[in-house]
Amino acid sequence: MIPARVLVSYGSHGIVSTEQGNFDCRWRRGKGRPLCGDQILVSLSTKEEAALEKIEARQSEFRRGDARGRAQLIAANVQQVIIVVAPEPAPSEFMIDRYLVAVAAMGLKAVLVLNKCDLLKTNSTLPQRLEAYKALGVEMVRASSQGEPGTDAVAEALHQRHSILVGQSGAGKSSLINSIIPDREEQTGALSEATGKGRHTTTRTLWIQLPNGGAVVDSPGVWEYGLWHMEATEVQQCMPDIQDASAQCRFRNCLHQGEPGCGVADAIHQGSLPQRRLDAFHNILSMQKNNK
């Protein structure tokens, strides 16, 4: 048996990377279903085919909620989530807030990328809206794969780490990776099926090794990123600014919807908490209700 990394996972097989090269690998009944990014043990039957023996314990699982609020697993063993946002397509309101709740719930680190800066109009309010997340300790870097300021800052954020790029379809995730890894097409040549022929839209979650250490997962863009089912208290624990302000609420189970003695309402009134963060909290709670 030899160790392998799952580059892409299909229903009954996947492509794995080993010290002896990449192999098509069969998943086997009773051995579990590997995710992109899983570390596994495989046995090599012929030179061309490998079979799954064991999935190693995961350090993390990146997930999303489906339309019914059930958790769907996307990738294993990432350490940070790079949320890619661009002037075009205009970011969906509250999507960043939902990603940040998910990242906190998964115990990962978040980085915001303001991409396609070449398209940024001087009067755009987007940079300012993204800078506001700095108050939550989220780093924001600017990038463009078609002009200034280039992609160096993103390359630096990815260096020696395991990251997943997420965001809306068309935000430029794959273009960022192509610009950071010039030989990417070569590396993923065997995976052309996974990226879809004649289309640019990413259709499969792919693990891509970085030349100087680390790896980046490219994932299909989403229209809306949904959360899996969480209780209101758990959502709040994943929104540190709301959680802090709620320490002053008179009622321990206050949902900050006009209850008397609400510390969150006070914080907004005093200007220490933006109204849109509370709106995001309520947006998440109402999406959670629709899930059930």
Write down the least CB distance from residue 164 to Mg ion, Å.
12
Q: Which is nearer to ligand GTP, 194 or 245 (CB)?
A: 194
Question: Interface with ligand GTP by CB under 6 A: which range of 29-37, 93-101, 144-152, 250-258?
Answer: 144-152
The reply to whether 277 sits near Zn ion by the rule CB under 5 A is no
Report the distance separating Cα 211 and Cα 189, nearest Å.
Answer: 16
Percent helix, strand and coil across the chain, each rounded to 5?
30, 25, 45
Residues 157-196 that bind ligand GTP (CB under 6 A): 169-175
Pick what 109 binds: Zn ion, ligand GTP, Mg ion, none; C-beta below 5 to 8 Å, kind-dependent. none
Q: How far is the CB of 93 from Zn ion (least distance, A)?
A: 22
Q: Which residues of 13-43 are buried (b: 16+ CB within 10 A; e: fewer)?
A: bbbbbbeeebbebebeeeeeebbbbbbbebe
Distance of CA 271 to the CA centre of its chain: 30
Structure tokens at 143: 């990038």
- Residue 285's H or E segment, with its range, is helix 275-291
Question: Rounded to a whole number, what is the largest CA-CA distance in the chain?
Answer: 70
CA angle 115, 59, 85 (to 5 degrees): 10
- Residue 283 beta carbon to Zn ion: minimum distance, rounded to whole angstroms: 16
124 contacts ligand GTP (rule: CB under 6 A): no
Stretch that binds Mg ion, among 29-37, 165-173, 231-239, 263-271 (CB under 5 A): 165-173
CB of 45 to Mg ion, least distance (A): 34
Q: Among 164, 224, 174, which Cα is nearest to 196's?
A: 174
Collapsing DSSP to helix, strand or coil, 207 comes out as strand
Identify what 73 binds: Zn ion, Mg ion, ligand GTP, none; CB under 5 to 8 Å per kind: none
Helix, strand or coil for residue 185?
A: helix
x/- site string to ligand GTP, residues 71 to 110, per CB under 6 A?
----------------------------------------
**Pick from 60, 151, 174, 236: which binds Mg ion (CB under 5 A)?**
174
Q: How many residues bind ligand GTP (CB under 6 A)?
A: 19
CB of 221 to Mg ion, least distance (A): 6
Q: Which two tokens stand for residue 196?
A: 């879809």
Q: Which amino acid is at 102?
A: A
Cα(82)–Cα(98) distance, rounded to whole angstroms?
13
249 binding partner (options Zn ion, ligand GTP, Mg ion, none; Cβ < 5 to 8 Å by kind): Zn ion
Q: From the CB of residue 121, how many other CB atoms can be counted at a distance below 10 Å? A: 8
- Which residues sit at the interface with ligand GTP, rule CB under 6 A? 115-116, 118-119, 144-146, 169-175, 200-202, 220-221
Residues at the interface with Mg ion (CB under 5 A): 173-174, 202
